[in-house]
Structure 1
Amino acid sequence: MEISSIPSFLDYYDKIRQRTERVIACIPADQFDWTYREGKFTFADQIRHIAAIERYLYAETVQGRSAAYTGCGKALADDPEQVLAFFREKHQESLAIFSSLSDQGLQQKIQTPGGGQITCWKWLRALIEHEIHHRAHIYTYLGILGIPTPPIFGLTSEQVQEQSTQASKI
């Protein structure tokens, strides 16, 4: 998928973020520091990481600056309310930066932290893929804990299967 305009990117990214917000809302406040294994990201780490990478890596580099990501630890935000506030604040800061880009700027090359070059629209696509990747971790963590989650596109796989079975009988 090529991103050809800033408004279309922002609209699509908003839909991605809404889905992420819906699954984050399923995390019980007393589970924000839960992880499946010592040394692995907690729920809170996942949320802080999405926010910090968006703002301090992607939003910085699309401006021609060096990445400023320094991690996703509790120093950024600790309790659930602070974590969610940080998540939303960094997203708003990033959106302001992304909104300032021009459609022509989407074709410019971005310097990645690894020293490579990538077209800006592809870099923004990678941002979306990154968020989806970490959202999947949150879904998995919630599944391990037996906490129900919302379907991504409105129906569960079981509901789609049931509808398909009914439709094939007609």
Structure 2
Amino acid sequence: MQINNIESFLGYYSKIKNRTQRLFDYIPPDKLEWTYLQGKFTIGDIIRHLANIERYMYAETVQFKPSKYKGCGIEFAKGFEEVKAYYNRMHEESMQIFARLSTKDLQKKCNTPAGIEITIWKWLRAMVEHEVHHRGQLYMYLGMLDVKTPPIFGLTSEEVASNSK
């Protein structure tokens, strides 16, 4: 998928973010800082990581600035409501930056933190893939906690199989 128009991309990306955010309502607040293994991201870390990487890496680099990503620990937001609000605030700031990109800007190249030049529309596409990757982690973590989560597109696998001919 090539991104030719920032307005249509922002609409699409908002839907991606909404599907991630919908999972937050299923997180037991007392499990926000739970992880399956010491040294791995907690649920809260994943949410803060998504917030910070979007705002301080992707949104900075599409402005031809270096990444300002500094991690995802509780120093950025602590507690269930604060973490959700932080995620939303960073997303709003990012969307304001992305909305300033012109069609011409989408064809320009920016530098990744690895020092690789990439076309901005491809970098934005990678941002979507990154979000989806970590959403999958949230589903996995919640499954490990035996939390029933909503099907991502309305039907479970079993319901799809039952409705198929």
TM range (shorter): over 0.9
1:56 is aligned to 56
- Residue type at the aligned position of 2:142: L
The aligned length equals 165
Summarize the alignment of residues 1-170 of structure 1 with structure 2, pairs less than 5 Å apart: 1-164=1-164, 168=165
- Residue type at the aligned position of 1:137: Q
Q: Equivalents in 2 of 1:131, 1:24: separation in Å?
A: 14
Q: Equivalents in 1 of 2:139, 2:32: separation in Å?
A: 13
Query: Secondary structure in 1 aligned to 2:12?
Result: helix
Shift of 1:24: 1.8
Shift of 1:107: 0.4
Q: Equivalents in 1 of 2:89, 2:75: separation in Å?
A: 15
Point out 4+ residue stretches in structure 1 off by more than 6 angstroms: none
- Residue type at the aligned position of 2:114: G
Query: Secondary structure in 2 aligned to 1:110?
Result: strand
Q: Equivalents in 2 of 1:50, 1:80: separation in Å?
A: 15
- Which of the pair has more CA radius of gyration? 1
Q: Percent identity?
A: 55
Gaps of 5+ in 2: none
Query: Secondary structure in 2 aligned to 1:27?
Result: coil
Deviations 1:83-128 (A, max 9, x none): 1111000000000000011011100001111111000000000101
Gaps of 5+ in 1: none
C-alpha RMSD of matched pairs (Å): 0.6
- With the length of structure 1 as denominator, give the TM-score of the two structures: 0.96
Q: Equivalents in 1 of 2:142, 2:127: separation in Å?
A: 23
Query: Secondary structure in 2 aligned to 1:137?
Result: helix
Q: Equivalents in 2 of 1:11, 1:146: separation in Å?
A: 33
Shift of 1:25: 1.6
Q: Equivalents in 2 of 1:65, 1:40: separation in Å?
A: 29
Query: Secondary structure in 2 aligned to 1:55?
Result: helix
- Residue type at the aligned position of 1:115: G
- With the length of structure 2 as denominator, give the TM-score of the two structures: 0.98
Query: Secondary structure in 2 aligned to 1:155?
Result: coil
